[in-house]
Chains A and B, each alone.
Chain A
Amino acid sequence: MHCSRSSLCLKNVCALFSGGKDSTYALHWAFLKGFFVRCLVTLKPEREDSWMFHFPAVDVTKLQARAIGLPLIFKKTLGEKDKELEDLKQALMEAKTRYGIYGLVTGALLSDYQRMNINMIAHQLGLKVFSPLWRKNQEEYMRSLVRHGFKFIITSISVYGLGRNFLGKEIDEQAVEEILLRARKYGFNPAFEGGEAETLVLDAPLFKKKLRVKGSVVELGGYMWRYRVEEAWLEDK
């Protein structure tokens, strides 16, 4: 896209999108701030112990992109540190070439490792980075997600203290309070910033359709659980 005014070009961004609550919330923030979100960029890690991107349920991001109505740049990555950054760079270069983006929006919460690595790649490509959730009060953030109409489920648990009962069910206000209570009791991050759990957004204010999923719970050992998505489809809202 060519802009007639530079101020408009400056608002073209892409959103790093895992399909989880943080990247979806950041995407909404960008719309509310008047950015033109031109596309979503998703990297699918092939290794489950990926250090930057969500693995579980990431395939359904294609359906989420359709639900939102944005094009998706979808890349597979091996999930190895250096290679993953290179894959991210390639994906962002493609977004820049195809959509003339000036910056990107991320759902980074508190990990400087994640924030600075993304910034380093963006810096090389001359892109600005916007991380609206950075250092926000995470308990309040969890509450606001539900309050603002984000419907999401937990698809992966990797921390002691968050039982399997949370898997696959929609997180409502009561569930949020229970998570916050357990986070304080067992000492994990209330918004799962350290990968304690992964989430999948089924519906959100800007979704034109809602996502439906069916799946089953898989125990990986100890306190590690996964919700394996077996079917996913879109429904009218």
Chain B
Amino acid sequence: MAGRQIVLKNCRYVVADAYTILEDVDILVEDGKIVNVERGLGGGDEIDCREKIVIPGLVNAHTHSAMWVFRGLFDKGELFDWLKAVWKAEEKLTPEIVYWASKAALLEMIMSGTTVVVDMCFYPLETVIAAQQLGVRIYTGPVIAGTLDDEERKRIVKVVEQISREKTNNHRIGLVVNVHTVYTSPREKLEWAVGLARKFNSLLVTQTSETRDEVFYTKNKYGKFPVEYLYEVGFLSEKTGLVHLGWITSWEIARLREMRTTAIHCSSSNMKLATGGFIPLQEMVESGINVALGTDGAASNNSLDMFREMRITVLLNRHSYWNTEMDASDVFKMATLNGYRFIGLKGGIITPGYVADLVIIDGKSIRLNPLTKRNVVSNIVYSATGADVEKVLVEGKLVYDREERERFDFILDEILEKLRDFIETV
């Protein structure tokens, strides 16, 4: 017997994957999965998609949700000056603040078409609660940084166990063991994190090779560049995501390939923090490395809009390489299919058997026109913004509908009210 069915009827264009555009088709969703994509489908609830573009959900593969509350706090300094300012502000974070700030960030991301958020922030359980309430997929876990004494290890394991339990009850939740950076994590800490991630079969994420300072600190201290060092301690695997990588060397790229590790690129944040370097995206893609995209936190981007991130990624790439080899479809794939590959979920393309994480875009938006089958991905990447998103489905459930904007405005009002005093103190 068929479960709950939804049909997205008469979609003007369906971006089935980065390189395949279907025209005037229906999408049948059942029990959270896509079961058919063709004309003349019926049954269940219908969503009218005339004049709409349907794309797979976007994956924000690296962010710090709660940093939403620090947006615009410190826009001036390079990474280490910026970190000093942000760490100082972070000391004031409480679980309650993290909950409300994460909720705001997640809301903003859903409203701009993000269906999966891979997060790195303190008090991850609060973020999990907010994500559950909003219906977005959340992959998060404790952040290993600073001292790692017995007490801290116990605390971290406890958080991991709690998220692990939540995960068994709700498969929109995923576990991540986050290591802040290599330079804040001696070998013992990295090895412990690797063991923890293996034990709980979780993703393992760290931010690395972001700045020249960090690269040479690691080289001087451990005799190796960061990715070489991570390889040596057994950190790299297909469940590992390395974020930033603007200072990665060619021989380290080979290590990512060998270990099938995902590279997560945050172009806006890297440019804003003037980290220099040169992310070798074309070489990574050519060598078959899975590259996903992230916005980083709202304090260093400052947007959480994956449409903007796709655009800036392709622009930065073309500017850096002095060529136009990378195109809109390539970054679209990074923001969709590659993100789902990283979290190990069959999603990111619109075809039977894949999760029904779908974004419905207003095809009549001025930013998406003139609209043809030929330019639909180009218009999405180079011109659209998250404001063109009309509806978002996660696992076949409607989690955002622009027609119910008042409901979402109400949530935001409540968040702002709860955060008002904190924002004033920061």
Contact = CB atoms under 8 A, between A and B. Distances in A.
Interface string B217-256: 0010000010000000000000000000000011100000
A135 B280 contact: yes
A140 interface: yes
Name which of A129, A134, A135, A136 has the most chain B CB atoms within 10 A of its CB: A135
11 contacts: A112-B249, A112-B250, A112-B251, A116-B215, A116-B225, A119-B215, A120-B219, A128-B276, A135-B283, A136-B321, A136-B323
Given A123-B216, A136-B321, A116 B249 contact: yes
Given A112-B250, A128-B276, A135-B278, A123 B321 contact: no
B410 interface: no
Nearest to B280: A135
Interface of A: 110, 112, 116, 119-120, 123, 128-129, 131, 134-137, 140
A136 B323 CA distance: 8
A72 B122 CA distance: 53
B373 interface: no
The 8 tightest CB contacts between A and B, nearest first, are A112-B249, A112-B250, A123-B216, A136-B322, A137-B323, A120-B216, A123-B212, A134-B278
B286 to A, nearest CB: 12
A140 B212 contact: no
A215 B280 CA distance: 41
Main secondary structure of the interface of A (DSSP, over half): mixed
B267 to A, nearest CB: 16
B56 to A, nearest CB: 30
A193 B47 CA distance: 57
B68 to A, nearest CB: 32
A112 to B, nearest CB: 4
B213 interface: yes
Contacts of A110: 250
Interface residues of B, number: 18
Nearest to A110: B250
Nearest to A122: B212
Given A119-B216, A123-B212, A123-B213, A137 B250 contact: no
B322 A137 contact: yes
Given A119-B215, A135-B282, A137-B323, 18 more contacts: A112-B250, A112-B251, A116-B225, A116-B249, A119-B212, A119-B216, A123-B212, A123-B213, A129-B276, A131-B278, A135-B278, A135-B280, A135-B320, A135-B321, A136-B322, A136-B323, A140-B322, A140-B323
Contacts of B323: 136-137, 140
A136 B215 CA distance: 23
A112 B219 CA distance: 14
Contacts of A134: 278
Nearest to A137: B323
Nearest to B220: A120
A137 B326 CA distance: 13
A140 B321 CA distance: 11
A137 B251 contact: no
Nearest to A120: B216
B220 to A, nearest CB: 9
Contacts of B251: 112
Contacts of B322: 136-137, 140
B244 to A, nearest CB: 16
Nearest to B276: A128
Contacts of A140: 322-323
A116 B323 CA distance: 24
Name which of B219, B251, B322 has the most chain A CB atoms within 10 A of its CB: B322
Interface in B162-217: 212-213, 215-216
Contacts of A112: 249-251
A120 B320 CA distance: 22
Interface in B244-272: 249-251
A86 to B, nearest CB: 16
A200 B294 CA distance: 44
Contacts of B216: 119-120, 123
Nearest to B322: A136
B282 to A, nearest CB: 8
A142 to B, nearest CB: 13
Nearest to B279: A135
A129 B249 CA distance: 16
A144 B282 CA distance: 21
A237 to B, nearest CB: 28
Nearest to A134: B278
Nearest to A119: B212
Interface in B23-63: none
Nearest to B278: A134
Nearest to B281: A135
Contacts of A123: 212-213, 216
Nearest to A121: B216
Nearest to A116: B249
